[in-house]
Amino acid sequence: MDRQPHRPVGRGRLRLVKSSAATDPTTDPYVPGHGDHSFEVDHYALELSYSVESNSLTGRAVITATALTDLDRFELDLYHLRVSKVTVDGAAPTKYSHRKSRLVVRPRAAIGEGQSFTVVVAYAGSPRPMPGLDGDAGWEELADGVIVASQPHGAPSWFPCNDRPSNKATYEIETTVPAGYVVVANGELESQRRRAGGTVWKHVESAPMATYLATVQIGRYESVEAGGAVPIRTVFPAGTRDRSVESFARQPDMMELFVRSFGDYPFASYTAVITEDELEIPLEAQGLSVFGSNFTTDEWEHQRLIAHELAHQWFGNSLTLTHWRDIWLHEGFACYAEWLWSEESGGPSADDRAEEQWQRLEQLPQDLVLGDPGPDLMFDDRVYKRGALLLHALRLTVGDDAFFALLRTWTTRYATGSVVTEEFVAVAAELCGAAVGQLFDAWLRDTALPELPSLP
């Protein structure tokens, strides 16, 4: 994601919520009131039926999980939608309570540590974005369809989940929509079949995925696919083929550069969805990214974001932060990918981009700690640019060969896993020498902007 959580142009809202979970040490202070550390979800099977005209969603979630401690109760996150039935391991209806966005489930028999269990939740309602400390996120109506942009806290707006980025699971998403609409979701399209008055689209994501990266996009779409080692599909509103395809024509070249720089692409395919609505910013989900119609130009400000969102497939989607304080591991790397693409595509070099951004940041307040910026600043542009500058400083310090070998080792060793900053620093020290620790301390822990190393 670039800069701020998604909002359609002119429709953004900012609402703050307070939660008693904010003082709970098991929750993430950046996204208080979300997640339960007493269990891990292994798999979500979602059966959704959606009416575009009335914004009505009916859902059934089959959640396979493992207890991390003895459980006589556990909690799922679900916002605004009404729960009609909950069962655990196929037993008779289970006791539950649903208040605000927390669904508290009390199984009839205690679940032992290490035991696998299955929860089935039936629910329905009119979904809407979920408010959080940084604004609203999640399921949102477009003029004629739906966008789901959940970073960082919007997943509960459309399915019950253990909403913490460290709990990655596999998914089946079956979505029934009226005839004439196309559904794009994470993973591969396994089947598409007609049902009275509509179409059922089933997508399967076999790579572990964080809840905030799960998505469905619904609209009157067409698509084209580019061949190559990684299938790349561009999905666009009917009647916009020429403009859409031309604006996104460099994606295969971006993919080639990033595979060379970062290592093998981590998923089976990649999809760029272009909505008919204009959007303030694009946003990545696992295996796909979402752009507004206003991004269908060849201007650098739009092309850099196409590269930015593609880079998130490595940094953010395959390697996903464990705690939101480490957001630079996503945004700093994706921002640096923009500078690599600039150089590759004949624009200013990464050195020039770095110098330009260093000069700009030097004029801004020096009050941000990159390694723990706080919830108010987690999507501050300085996190993006300072994170990219850290990487450029590292590259200048250790040289290109060591730097890109480090990136490829990082993405391979922790592929589809959850990561923290300390692990990246450790890999850098292992491959580049312990002396890089001082560089990381200055860029990650100090508020003052460090100098960039001199060009070799």
* pLDDT tops 90 at residue 349: yes
Region 399-426 average pLDDT: 98
Query: Tens of pLDDT along 62-101?
Result: 999 999 999 999 999 999 999 999 999 997 888 999 999 9
Helix, coil or strand: residue 127: coil
Level-2 CATH architecture, domain 320-445: Orthogonal Bundle (1.10)
Count Cβ atoms within 10 A of the Cβ of residue 303 and give its class: 0-12 exposed, 13-18 middle, 19 or more buried: buried
Percent of residues, the chain, with pLDDT higher than 70: 94
Q: How many C-beta neighbours within 10 Å does residue 255 have?
A: 20
Percent of residues, the chain, with pLDDT higher than 90: 90
Query: Tens of pLDDT along 15-24?
Result: 222 233 333 5
To which residue do tokens 């032992």 refer?
Answer: 112
- Decide if 60 contacts 120 (C-beta within 8 A): yes
Query: Tens of pLDDT along 393-409?
Result: 999 999 999 999 999 99
User: What pTM does this model have?
Assistant: 0.94
Binning pLDDT at 50, 70 and 90, where does residue 422 land?
very high
The overall average pLDDT reported for the chain is 93
pLDDT of residue 197: 83
Query: Tens of pLDDT along 154-164?
Result: 999 999 999 99
Query: Tens of pLDDT along 174-196?
Result: 999 999 999 999 999 999 999 88
* pLDDT tops 90 at residue 454: no
**In sequence order, what are the residues at sequence separation of 6 or more whose Cβ sits closer than 8 angstroms to the Cβ of residue 318?**
207, 266, 267, 411, 414, 415, 416, 417
* pLDDT tops 70 at residue 10: no
Domain 220-314 has CATH 3.20.20.410: no
**In sequence order, what are the residues at sequence separation of 6 or more whose Cβ sits closer than 8 angstroms to the Cβ of residue 182?**
201, 218, 219, 220, 221, 223, 235
pLDDT of residue 175: 98
pLDDT of residue 93: 83
pLDDT of residue 453: 93
pLDDT of residue 196: 86
- The fold for domain 1-219 equals Immunoglobulin-like (2.60.40)
Give CA 437 to chain center in angstroms. Answer: 29
pLDDT of residue 2: 62
pLDDT of residue 6: 35
In order of 83, 136, 139, 399, the CA distances from 32 in angstroms are 22, 14, 19, 41
pLDDT of residue 75: 97
* pLDDT tops 70 at residue 25: no
What single letter denotes the amino acid at residue 94? T
* pLDDT tops 80 at residue 136: yes
Query: Tens of pLDDT along 197-211?
Result: 899 999 999 999 999
Count Cβ atoms within 10 A of the Cβ of residue 191 and give its class: 0-12 exposed, 13-18 middle, 19 or more buried: exposed
Helix, coil or strand: residue 180: coil
Domain ranges of the chain: 1-219, 220-314, 320-445
